[in-house]
Amino acid sequence: MDVVLREKVEVVVYTDSDYANDPDDAKSISGYITYLDGNVISYGSRKQGINAQSSTEAEYISMNEGVKDILWMDGLLEELR
């Protein structure tokens, strides 16, 4: 199988969080989904490791997960070129 990449590839990541909605420990849930040229290539959802002090902090934690995924994807695409 050959992998051929175009010059421009669109990578999009969406993130979201559910602030302090776990009834047992009040931790937030993070989620992200990554698209490559409109196709889902990765996604994830997990409980955050800390108790966020606000919904904004929970969103930043979730955004960090998405950024980590897109940085990994960028490295992979560079290796394939």
pLDDT tens-digit series, residues 8-33:
888 899 999 989 877 888 889 999 99
The residue type of 11 is V
Averaged pLDDT for residues 27-56: 90
67: Cβ contacts below 8 Å, ≥ 6 apart: 13
User: Over 80: is that where the pLDDT of 62 sits?
Assistant: yes
Averaged pLDDT for residues 37-49: 90
Mean pLDDT, all residues of the chain? 87
Which is higher by pLDDT, 2 or 73?
73
Q: Which residues pair with 16 in a beta bridge?
A: 31
Helix or strand run (H / E) with residue 49: none
CB 55 within 8 A of CB 17: yes
Domain assignments of the chain as residue spans, ordered by start: 11-80
pTM: 0.76
